[in-house]
Homo-oligomer: A and B are copies of this chain.
Amino acid sequence: MRATLMFGAGDVRVENVPDPELRQPTDAIVRVVRTCICGSDLHPYHTQPASADGVRMGHEFLGVVEDLGSEVSGLKRGDLVVAPFAFSDNTCEFCREGLHTSCTSGGFFSEAQSEALRVPQAQGTLVKLPVAEDSELLPSLLTLADVYGTGYHAAVKAGVNERTTVTVIGDGAVGLLAVLSAKQLGAERIILMGRHQTRTDLGREFGATDVVAERGEEGIAKVRELTGGFGTHTVLEAVGYRAAYDQAVGVVRPGGVISRVGVPQYEEAPVGFGSLFGPNITLNGGPAPVRAYIDALLPDVLDGRVEPGKVFDRTVTLDEVPDGYRAMDDRESLKVLVRP
């Protein structure tokens, strides 16, 4: 079958690879119906060391169950399913606490930009979708695999509610869906920091009340000006660069929360008296336990009350995936949907 491999920074190819096979009785094989390229895929696209064998790519997919291990129940061949970007048994102590990304039998998918893949812990991981393979809802349903759940995680961890003001840093798919999530959780004032107008326009459609295009000190000053000088109660950081962290520290209100879901491209950052400690700022977030949110988010997607799939602005075939990476990296495309 065909699958996407990255052979180094900027070097994405679609090649023939062996078909996936069941290895554990808890596995399933899923034929991919929709997958996509993630903003976080651009990090290795910039930094991946060159390798002869390449590395399989992709962690977001929905598809049809083709085969099932003997210990998987509740699913059957032909089911249309969506998977969170992390697989998990959904029964361990961390899963029971809603932290599926720390599942003791879990891990992260990395082979989804392909025709098919093996799904470990299939019973705990896959969620059956009550629609047909040709449903117009597929793009929105695919966002449950990562970007919608990730934006929602940012808003939940920040404690967004009707009394909290919100700044969202980043106008990528996760940032825009953090706006949507904050709105769903009742926020009335949502400031979106982003400088690509087509994206921030979608942010306004999702619920942003203000857009700040400036960055760095200028952007911080603007947010403070909009919030009586103090910044917002919550800051949802959906970028992952150190500059975004510094911006978050600059716009968060004393006693507030910085919730990060952009994968940090740094290890150390300011946390001392002059940044987090003095004003009693909370820093949280991490890889979103998307599995924990699918059940809650699914009904509004099925009803069409929300349309998170609007973040997809281009659709490609599997063979066109390399150009999809290029388009996202060039900011020509916000998020690329793939129909294998």
Contacts and interface: CB of A to CB of B under 8 A. Distances in A.
A277 B263 contact: yes
A145 interface: no
A254 B285 contact: no
B283 A272 contact: no
> Chain A binding site: helix, strand, loop or mixed by DSSP?
mixed
Interface in A211-244: none
B272 A266 contact: yes
A254 B285 CA distance: 12
Contact of A282 (B255, B268, B277, B284): B284
Interface residues of A, number: 35
Given A94-B255, A99-B254, A254-B99, A273 B279 contact: no
A287 interface: yes
Contacts of A99: 254-255, 280
A300 interface: no
A287 B278 contact: yes
A327 B150 CA distance: 52
A209 interface: no
A283 B284 contact: yes
Contacts of A286: 276-281
Interface string A251-281: 0001100001001101111111111111111
A97 interface: yes
Contacts of A269: 268-269, 271-272
A102 interface: yes
Interface in A73-105: 94, 97, 99, 101-102
B255 A97 contact: yes
A149 B282 CA distance: 19
Given A102-B255, A255-B94, A255-B99, A271 B264 contact: yes
Interface of A: 94, 97, 99, 101-102, 157, 245, 254-255, 260, 263-264, 266-287, 289
23 contacts: A101-B280, A102-B254, A263-B273, A264-B272, A264-B277, A266-B272, A267-B270, A267-B271, A267-B272, A267-B274, A267-B275, A268-B270, A268-B271, A269-B269, A277-B285, A277-B287, A280-B284, A280-B285, A280-B286, A281-B284, A282-B284, A283-B283, A284-B284
